[in-house]
Structure 1
Amino acid sequence: MKQFFKFVLATIVGLIFATIILIFVLIGIVASASGDKSETVESNSVLSIAIDHPITERTPNNPLAGLSFLGFDTDKTIGLNDILANIKKAKTDDNIKGIYLSQSYMLSGQATTEEIRKALIDFKKSGKFIVAYAEIYTQSFYYLASVADKVYINPKGIFDFSGFSSQITFLKGTLDKLGVEVQVIKVGTYKSAVEPFVLTKMSDANREQVTSYMGSLYDYFLQGISNSRHLNVDSLKSIASNLKIQYPEDALKYKLVDGLKYKDEVLDDLKDRTGVKHNKDLNSISIDDYTKAASDKKDDEGSSDRRIAMIYASGEINGGDGDDNSIGSDKVSAAIRKVRLDNKVKAVVLRVNSPGGSSLASAVIWREIVLTRKVKPVIVSMGDYAASGGYYIACAADSIIAEPNTVTGSIGIFAILPNMQKFFNDKLGVTFDGVKTGKFADLGDISRPLTPEERAILQTQINHGYDDFTKAVAEGRHKTQSYIDSIGQGRVWTGSQALKLGLVDRLGNINDAIESAARKAKITDYKVVTYPEQKSIFNKFGAGFSAEMKTRAIQSELGENFKYYEQVKGLQNMMRTPQARMPYVITIK
């Protein structure tokens, strides 16, 4: 027995020491990774842009990004904020002679791609070159690459130019087989987020709106390529509709690319452009590493006494704190209150990239915007999405700026409640019985269907929520509530369409929003400060860190299919509270 206790004690002491050593190793790695060490940019370099990960609004605050330790690899990711800042910095960096766009899958929405594309167009004003090369051109990456001075494709490569498509997965057949009925209470003819649970195909209203906004997105996509490549829009439509590009030679024939080259030939081209001998390595720096490159430019530092607050609201909207990829009403509201009470903050830019979520959480954030607008200018910059709840939190601003291919609108509310009685009774043989002290004490019980009276109560609540929503939009946009209802009803619009309808004030990017905020605040010298504060990796240790690591592991394993996992998870939130949520996530490949 004595030997047993000695063994146990030795094991415990060993674990303690191992844990202490591990902590010190991690601290050492983090300290090393998070230092202020800057990257050196050699003369005659190219800025290499190759993005193969989803683009978030802000670069995650993860000093371990890109490192490999203890058997774990951490991906290096860069957010839209740093991508845009780096392209702007490269424009005036004498050591950067041009940009090399290499194969990117562009796992991002169209408005995000549009922001990067506009930054590249602005970069070209410097007289520096942009060269694009890929083995596989997706439509999204080609849209970005089309601004390049030269667009090359591998002679054996793949060039996708076939037009846009939209597909919805309907679950009603599966639910019927399981004996599950989804009870829907909604307002909005076009509020189609519930359709997959109650229909087997698109409703006529939904098909109408999808056809409309997909057409708007596609027209803008083709017009952008037309402008860059000097090709007729009708010709481009014909090329795509008839799938005239099946091989790289076809892309060259129809002038969508400038040449068929292997990568070594492209690298030689870049060496010629930068004055490097072919037997030497090309001087290049990745856009991720360029973030750490020192800059002599201090123009954006501004005055510490005058600030513009950039508040990021990105992801699904729910109560609580949320995280870097979701909007928590508590955290975002606290950030808005903080900048409202800060006398150094002269204006606010609310960056919205959200398909919506909880109508209650959206209303909580909306209230803070209303209060802030009374004391300082508030400008909204819309990203890929600012729909439903995402539009709710935006509508109270002084001015709303969207990209032409932003997806917005979807002004409507719904709630879903499953009736699983047949599933429990017929499939599992489970029955329920109980007592209650009030007629509606078990309202919302999923083990039985709603009564007509209960359904009427819930419909009244949803109607009330829709009335609040349309009233808020009407007040914010200076329109009548009846007009907002006529363009609402859950219908989805693009930024271009929303401009004509009066749901947004102008088309532009995030920099346009900052400049607009400065003009309204009547300041020329200012500093942009971002909110909410991003948590570091140390702040995330514990349950939150474990959840984030689990999500990243699933995302790494599923790749592009991660979106389906997110949709299934979203069902949990949709069954808790009334939702102001867009019905789709749109991805152009």
Structure 2
Amino acid sequence: MRFFKVFLASFLAFVVFAVLSIIVLSVLIGKALTSEKVTISPNGVLVLETGQAYHEQKVVNPLGALMKDEPAETPGLFQTIRLIENAANDDNIKGIYLKVNGNANGFASNEELRNALIRFRQSKKFVYAYGELMDQNAYYLATAADKVYLNPKGIVDFTGFSSQITFFKGALDKLEIKPEIFYCGKFKSATEPLRETQMTAANRIQTTQFLGELYGNFLQGISKARNVDTATLHGYANENLIQEAADALKYKLVDGLRYDDEVVNELKTKAGIKADEKVNFITLGKYNNGTDLSNGTGDSKIALIYAQGEIIGGESDHDNMIASENYIREIRKVREDKNVKAIVFRVNSGGGSALASEIIWRELSLAKKVKPVVVSMGDYAASGGYYISCMADSIFAQPNTLTGSIGVFGVLFNMQDFFKNKLGVTFDGVKTAQYADLGSMGRPLTEGEKRFIQNSVDSTYGSFKSRVVAGRKLDPAIVDSIAQGHVWSGVQAKELGLVDRIGGINDALVCAAKLAKLSSYRLREYPEVKDPFTKLVKSLGGDVSTSMVKKELGVNYELYQKVKEVQAMHGVIQAKMPYSYSF
């Protein structure tokens, strides 16, 4: 009897403790995330940092807020663009101070931000940029400013673009792991790191082509902003002429060499602030908290659906995953909502599961039958990312979007020799049918099994091409010639008919409104951002684990990610970009 009394008392204490913990945690979250409405005072200068990574949707970070080391909310890319547009018409904002140190964003995202800054300048308000260590992507964004200043001891990286691939074949050979590879398209190079020790000729050709396109866009933008012709700019990089801050000034890449305090004093003069007064700097987060962005008026709505990350089957609660079941629900919801008159599908993905891509394509095709669907492409909309885009009424891409990569592949790993010779592990078993253990890592595939898998890959590739033929209204022979897994820039894709127009999210929204014959509408964004409590619980789990791994591995974290990606390929037919490009 005494045991039960102790047990019940302990259990009751645990329940009380758990309930109180939840209450306290909820209060802390509320305090961390719910701040009083900020009032934007006059003579403000909006501060933007190029090192800030902008996801497609806003990022809620309750754990960072609780620990006081990160903001509770980081605006998404389109939200940031809208805030910049709002600031152009806000009498309390005199200009923008662009702090240029690194750039965590992709090329197309950078283009969206740069165009927003250029439009902001049309309001006759100033944009001043200052940096100490400007990488090329950050410098490109800085050239949207009226004035670009560099620390007298600072550096502007101006050495040109390069692309480097990590090859695993040598390591797999040493480990006696034999990948069994199946693919369609001579340019479909996603499996090259597993089967080659260097780039194939076809991959070298396509990478050279699109890298040249991206670099050409980079030079053209800077040329127009700095009034230096592209050939001269290319010469600077080719001869490595920009080695010190004085070189950047000499060759007109910057307007002056200043320290931060000197730039701030110049901002005071520009903003009409007295020398003995402080500049009213307003961070993007503060401005977001003090600004009510209008989502439009009326009953008619346009749904803006964000699709960012790898395409996978089933469900996922991860922010950067395009899980087929999740997106079926979201697309079906807006398809069946009679007040939603058009859909803008924002794609920022290098692809993933071919089957999951087909499932999402199907749901979007059903939506297209009842209302216009317009696609806006981000940094990537390639392979599976293009699969889920090709059915749209109209497709917009930035000139430096990477798209296409129409091709598929499959990989299985024969690890029999690895387990036997390296670990002393062997496998044996029984089966009720000849192919019941097809795909096992414990044995090699038979020739018949290899034919089965290649047939499946060929069939999936044929389906992918047929979706492009129907969606883009192109001749099958043309699609076959521009498919083959070939990666294209946005400019190239437009010339080939894979993309309709060069433009950003705003352009896609204007197009959608026009197709739906809307003179006014309300904007509604999907998927809905998770509530703070759910987000915190997730942060205390997976996000913390990820942060710990990143901290422990440091610069090796990227290699760790690549190894995990290779593991995830096993047995799943992929419509995925060759790899993540880093320039």
TMscore range, shorter length: over 0.9
Is the contact between residue 391 and residue 411 of structure 1 (CA under 8 Å) also seen in structure 2?
Answer: yes
Matched, 1:261 2:258: yes
2:230 corresponds to: 233
Is the contact between residue 109 and residue 587 of structure 1 (CA under 8 Å) also seen in structure 2?
Answer: no
Relative distance call for 1:215 and 1:535 in structure 2 (3 A) is: same
SS in 1 for 2:102: coil
From 185, 192, 212, the counterpart of 1:215: 212
Matched, 1:582 2:577: yes
From 516, 529, 535, the counterpart of 2:530: 535
Of 355-364 and 285-294, deviating more is 285-294
Matched, 1:206 2:203: yes
Relative distance call for 1:293 and 1:561 in structure 2 (3 A) is: farther
Relative distance call for 1:545 and 1:526 in structure 2 (3 A) is: farther
Root-mean-square deviation (Å)? 2.3
Relative distance call for 1:553 and 1:431 in structure 2 (3 A) is: closer
After superposition, what is the alpha-carbon deviation per residue over 1:196-246, rounded to whole angstroms, capped at 9, x for unaligned?
011100000010110010000000000000111111000000001111000
2:275 corresponds to: 278
User: CA shift at 1:51, angstroms?
Assistant: 4.2
Is the contact between residue 65 and residue 76 of structure 1 (CA under 8 Å) also seen in structure 2?
Answer: no
SS in 1 for 2:289: coil
C-alpha distance in structure 1 between counterparts of 2:119 and 2:70, whole Å: 35
C-alpha distance in structure 1 between counterparts of 2:19 and 2:485, whole Å: 55
C-alpha distance in structure 1 between counterparts of 2:557 and 2:36, whole Å: 34
Amino acid corresponding to residue 206 of structure 2 in structure 1: Q
2:380 corresponds to: 385
From 505, 508, 512, the counterpart of 1:510: 505
C-alpha distance in structure 2 between counterparts of 1:128 and 1:455, whole Å: 64
C-alpha distance in structure 2 between counterparts of 1:173 and 1:431, whole Å: 24
Where do 5+ consecutive residues of structure 1 fail to align?
none
Matched, 1:477 2:472: yes
C-alpha distance in structure 2 between counterparts of 1:65 and 1:58, whole Å: 17
1:311 corresponds to: 305
User: CA shift at 1:553, angstroms?
Assistant: 4.1
C-alpha distance in structure 2 between counterparts of 1:197 and 1:241, whole Å: 33
User: CA shift at 1:39, angstroms?
Assistant: 1.5
Matched, 1:416 2:411: yes
User: CA shift at 1:559, angstroms?
Assistant: 6.4
1:30 corresponds to: 29
1:147 corresponds to: 144
From 330, 336, 358, the counterpart of 2:325: 330
1:243 corresponds to: 240
User: CA shift at 1:159, angstroms?
Assistant: 1.2
Of 348-357 and 262-271, deviating more is 262-271
C-alpha distance in structure 1 between counterparts of 2:176 and 2:108, whole Å: 41
User: CA shift at 1:485, angstroms?
Assistant: 1.1
**What is the count of residue pairs matched by the alignment?**
582
Is the contact between residue 159 and residue 248 of structure 1 (CA under 8 Å) also seen in structure 2?
Answer: yes
Q: TM-score, normalised by structure 2?
A: 0.95
Of 539-548 and 76-85, deviating more is 539-548
Amino acid corresponding to residue 104 of structure 2 in structure 1: L
SS in 2 for 1:422: helix
C-alpha distance in structure 1 between counterparts of 2:255 and 2:85, whole Å: 26
Structure 1 segment 521-532 matched on structure 2, within 5 A: 521-532=516-527
C-alpha distance in structure 2 between counterparts of 1:527 and 1:562, whole Å: 42
2:401 corresponds to: 406
Is the contact between residue 62 and residue 536 of structure 1 (CA under 8 Å) also seen in structure 2?
Answer: no
Relative distance call for 1:587 and 1:302 in structure 2 (3 A) is: farther
From 121, 124, 136, the counterpart of 2:118: 121
After superposition, what is the alpha-carbon deviation per residue over 1:165-199, rounded to whole angstroms, capped at 9, x for unaligned?
11001011111110101110110101101010111
Is the contact between residue 409 and residue 457 of structure 2 (CA under 8 Å) also seen in structure 1?
Answer: yes
Identical-residue share of aligned pairs (%): 48
2:314 corresponds to: 320
1:108 corresponds to: 105
Where do 5+ consecutive residues of structure 2 fail to align?
none
Matched, 1:463 2:445: no
Q: TM-score, normalised by structure 1?
A: 0.94
Is the contact between residue 318 and residue 361 of structure 1 (CA under 8 Å) also seen in structure 2?
Answer: yes
SS in 2 for 1:394: coil
From 436, 441, 448, the counterpart of 1:453: 448
After superposition, what is the alpha-carbon deviation per residue over 1:422-453, rounded to whole angstroms, capped at 9, x for unaligned?
11111112222222121111111111111111
2:127 corresponds to: 130
Matched, 1:84 2:84: no
Relative distance call for 1:19 and 1:313 in structure 2 (3 A) is: same
Of 461-470 and 12-21, deviating more is 12-21
1:68 corresponds to: 67
